[in-house]
A and B are shown apart, each in its own frame.
Chain A
């Protein structure tokens, strides 16, 4: 049985089709990534899965419950980390957890017992009485994660969990998310960071304009869509160099003032780099797949 199964999901706002026929299948214990540029329909898809908005068409089953009909029952066993922190600014760290537990019908005495563990998980031990305003961005994010765990959920939705965090804070969140999947929890996350998806997700789907364009493990997607080696070249004379590179590398493209060469064997092109040109030789990444499939145009 899937933890989350979505078939033919559609949602429009007026004339704008935001989600146009999405199918998803997330297995229990899996960390599943939903990637896509801004406006791809990721957040709307999450909201539909939570039963917060009604779909125009399609079926959703979340932890065995049909959504939106039994969304409330499903949400009992689900945690949510939203894109923007919405902690209660009038409450302390511990009060935020107690009050949030009440929304799940959890008594204060029960929550008191759970708080030390949740704070330990969030790296906030000793901060019970801190005001939300005194917390750094990373601490707020971790508290939001702890809040999403008050009901010991089976599945956690995370909408861009590390946006705006510094590398230290981001690595800590990643470590915690891995811990959660090791404990058998299912995670569905959206992100803009390909590195994050590559590290965390067992499987992912890339979404654009309301549709899922590819789905698979990060490695499968890279192997399937991009040559293993990438050479980036820029600097004075890059245009002339590009003409030569076209004969040396299997695939060459230019973006702005940078030339990208892709191939199984990139050595001939690499040897040809000289003069004042700068270069970067690296393995192909999920970001290359993402940009190839969704294009390089800016999304607003």
Chain B
């Protein structure tokens, strides 16, 4: 539990800067949810038996969670590691780089979870998610957060500079968002694109959260959860490997 000190350090900073953090992590996705949801929803009949805004809310929950996790682990992580040398300071104490990686990943996932669960709360208040099943979306959001925090932290410890993250965002996150069933059902994609989507974590997050918002158990829940967990676990191991390599020189 040594990593907890790292988690608490980040949490204390977050508490001090809470206004800006909440605004960027919550206001953005909510504006998009209601703007696109009601705007497009007015043009669309129900999608997969749900109103468009409820359909999109499930996708937006996962996307916003992904973005919070990725921004925190990449940009904020890099600022701590490279700009402020906070990691160096922590390493003089009886902590290792493994503890720091674990603390950073769990922290970014926690912050992402807060984004996801707040969107869920707003969706519930607006009557978009009413079944008790939706409570299962809370652990699901944490799992999505863990998967993307772990991948984001790999990017962080591999990065030579800030522009490195643009590649990841433009070449990985944006296309993934388009094919993972966030805005429209993924099964209307051409088969090869759907096959790619099924290899990526966001698709599986959406596949868990959307049926829960609709009010029932997600089909193949354990498969989707296992994929997310695998991304988190392999990402964690890889982040540790690359972090050790970076700090050994």
Contacts and interface: CB of A to CB of B under 8 A. Distances in A.
Contact of A82 (B5, B92, B249): B92
Interface stretch (A89-97, A177-185, A222-230, A246-254): A89-97
Contacts of B19: none
B24 interface: no
A52 B247 CA distance: 8
Nearest to B89: A86
Contacts of B12: 91, 95, 99
A100 B94 contact: no
Contacts of B86: 86, 88
B89 A89 contact: no
Nearest to B80: A88
Given A88-B84, A90-B16, A91-B13, A103 B90 contact: yes
A73 B92 contact: no
Contact of A103 (B85, B93, B248): B93
A100 B84 contact: no
Interface string B62-87: 00000000000000000000001110
B227 to A, nearest CB: 35
Contacts of B96: 72
A80 B92 CA distance: 6
Interface residues of B, number: 24
A84 B17 CA distance: 26
B13 A75 contact: no
Interface string A233-244: 000000000000
Interface in A65-79: 72-73, 75-76, 78-79
Interface residues of A, number: 30
B28 interface: no
Interface string B89-104: 1111111100000000
B160 interface: no
A149 B145 CA distance: 37
B93 A75 contact: yes
Contacts of A73: 94
Contacts of B249: 13, 53
A91 B16 CA distance: 9
A102 interface: yes
A88 B9 contact: yes
B248 A53 contact: yes
Given A54-B248, A75-B93, A103-B90, A86 B8 contact: no
Give the interface centre of A82, A99, A104, A105 by most chain B CB atoms within 10 Å: A99
A147 B90 CA distance: 11
A43 to B, nearest CB: 12
A80 B91 CA distance: 10
A50 interface: yes
Give the interface centre of B85, B90, B91, B92 by most chain A CB atoms within 10 Å: B92
Contact of B84 (A78, A82, A86): A86
A75 B90 CA distance: 11
A100 B93 contact: yes
B48 interface: no
B88 interface: yes
Interface string B222-249: 0000000000000000000000000111
Contacts of B89: 82, 86-88, 100, 147
Given A13-B249, A103-B5, A89 B95 contact: no
A198 B112 CA distance: 54
A103 B7 CA distance: 11
Contact of B13 (A79, A90, A103): A90
A206 to B, nearest CB: 25
Given A13-B249, A54-B248, A72-B96, A102 B8 contact: yes
B88 A82 contact: yes
Interface of A: 13, 50, 52-54, 72-73, 75-76, 78-80, 82, 84, 86-91, 95, 99-100, 102-105, 147-148, 151
22 contacts: A52-B91, A53-B247, A53-B248, A53-B249, A73-B94, A75-B94, A78-B92, A82-B85, A82-B88, A82-B92, A86-B85, A87-B89, A88-B84, A88-B86, A90-B13, A90-B17, A99-B9, A99-B12, A102-B5, A103-B90, A103-B94, A104-B94
Given A99-B5, A104-B93, A105-B94, 10 more contacts: A53-B249, A82-B85, A86-B88, A99-B8, A102-B9, A103-B93, A104-B94, A105-B2, A147-B89, A151-B93
